[in-house]
Amino acid sequence: MTDYKKILESLPEAVAPYLGQGKKADYIPALASVPADKFGMALSTADGCDYVVGDANEGFSIQSISKVFTLSLAMHYAGEKVFERVGVEPSGNPFNSLLQLEHERGVPRNPFINAGALVITDVLLSCLRSPRNDFLDFVRTLSGNMDIHYDEQVFHSEYDNCHRNAALANYLKSFNNLEHSVSEVLDFYFYQCSLKMSCQDIARASRFLATDGKHPFRDERVVSPLQARRINTLMMTCGTYDEAGEFAFHVGLPCKSGVGGGIVATIPGEMSICVWSPELGKKGNSLPGMHALKAFVEKTDLAVF
C-alpha cells in the first residue's frame, strides 16, 4: 500500500530549490501581499482518506480554480448547451487574450480562459436563483466546510484592476454572447475568484471528478460520469493555459491552476490533489506547485498515461 503521508512529507524538500524563482501575481495587489515561501499540499482519495503537508489548511484565494466548479455547476444545469457558446480547444495564448477572442468572433476557445469563464458565469446567472449564495453553498457542500467565504479585500482588488476582464466582457457582449449585463457578469465572476479555500478544502471539493461525478459527502451526483470525464479532459488540455503541454508532458494529470498559486489535479478512480505556493512561472502557474506535482507522480507512478 502506498504511503501517501510519507510521500507528501518528502515534497517540501523536493520543491525547495524552486522557491524564490517565480513571481507573485502582483497585478492583483491583494495577492502580492501573500508570503512567497508558503507551500501546502493535500490529497483526498476516492475512498475518503485525506493527507496533508505544510500549509495545506491555510486559506488562499482560489482565483481560476473556481472555473472547475463553475463549469461543473453549469454543466449540471445546462448540459451540452454550454458548449454552444464556448469551445473545447486549447488556447495556446495567454488566459486573458483579447486578440484571440477577436479572432474567434466572440466565441471563447474554452471554458478555462477568462473569456470562456465569463460566458460560463453568464450561464449560471440564468440558472441560479441567488447566484452568489447558491455557488457558495455548492462549494461548501462539496468540501464539507461550511466556513468557506469570499475574501472581500481580494474581491475589491480584482474590481479595481479589472480593465482587461471588462474589455473581454464588453467584447463578448458585442457578439451577443452574454445575456446579462457586463456589470452583473463581472461582479459574479470576481466573487467566484475571490473565494478563500485551503488545499484540503479544494482537494475534497474536487473529489467528485475522481469518482465519476459522485458527490463526496452526499448520495447524489454532481455531474454525470460523461460530464466528469469531459471536465477532466478539459483540465488536461486547457487547465494550465498556454503551458498545458508542459504539464501534460511533465506531470501527466488533469490540472487547473489559479494565479493565487493553487493548482488542483485529479487522478480518475484514485484521488484529487491540491497544491499551493504563490510564486508563478512565466505562464501564470505556480512554479513550485508544478514541480511538487511532478515529484508526486514520479514517486507514485500515478500519471494517467
pLDDT of residue 30: 86
What is the H or E stretch that residue 212 is in? none
60 pairs with which residues across the strands? Answer: 197
Domain segments of the chain: what residues?
Answer: 4-300
pLDDT tens per residue across span 2-19: 899 999 999 999 999 999
Percentage of the chain modeled with pLDDT above 90: 88
| In the predicted structure, residue 148 carries a pLDDT above the cut 80 | yes
Let me know if 107 is a catalytic residue: no
Looking from the CA of 287 toward its CB, the CA atoms found within 13 Å total: 17
Query: Per-residue DSSP letters for 242-280?
Result: GGHHHHHHHT-S-EEE-TTSEEEEEETTTEEEEEE-S-B
pTM: 0.96
Q: Which of the following is catalytic: 15, 18, 66, 67?
A: 67
**CATH class, 4-300 region:** alpha beta
CA-based nearest residue to 120, from 272, 238, 30? 238
User: 44, 189, 256, 277: which is the annotated catalytic residue?
Assistant: 189
> Any catalytic annotation for residue 189?
yes
Q: How confident is the model at residue 305 (pLDDT cuts 50, 70, 90)?
A: confident
Q: How do residues 243-279 score in pLDDT, each as one tens digit?
A: 999 999 999 999 999 999 999 999 999 999 999 999 9
- Greater confidence (188 vs 305) lies with 188
The active-site residue, picked from 68, 259, 264, 275, is: 259
Question: Pick the catalytic residue: 64, 66, 91, 198?
Answer: 64
Q: What is the pLDDT averaged over residues 177-203?
A: 98
Which grid coordinates belong to 61? 484565494
What is the predicted pLDDT for the residue at 72? Answer: 98
Mean pLDDT of the chain: 95
Cβ-based neighbours of 92, under 8 Å, separated by 6 or more: 242
C-alpha pair distances (Å), 41 with each of 8, 14, 95, 111, 198: 7, 13, 24, 25, 9
**Amino acid 107: pLDDT:** 95
For helices 114-127 and 182-193, give the axis angle rounded to 10 degrees: 100
Instruction: State the catalytic residue, choosing from 68, 241, 251, 294.
Output: 241
68 is catalytic: no
Q: What is the average per-residue pLDDT within 78-96?
A: 91
Q: What is the pLDDT of residue 98?
A: 84
What digits encode the pLDDT tens for the residues 120-146?
Answer: 999 999 999 999 999 999 999 999 999
Identify the pLDDT of residue 91.
86
Q: Is the pLDDT of residue 102 over 90?
A: no
Across 99-122, average pLDDT: 94
Question: Does residue 94 register a pLDDT over 80?
Answer: no
The Cβ-side half-sphere exposure at 294, using a 13 Å CA radius, reads 14
pLDDT: which is higher, 162 or 252:
252
pLDDT confidence bin for 186, thresholds 50/70/90: very high
**Mean pLDDT confidence for 177-184:** 98
Asked if 191 is an active-site residue, the reply is no
Residue 275: left if φ>0, alpha if ψ -120 to 50, beta else—which one?
beta
Q: Which residues contact 93 (CB under 8 A, 6 or more apart)?
A: 99, 100, 109, 113, 242
Give residue 26's pLDDT. Answer: 85
The shares of helix, strand and coil residues in the chain, as percent rounded to the nearest 5, are 50, 10, 35
| DSSP annotation of 93 | S
- Verify whether residue 64 is a known catalytic residue: yes
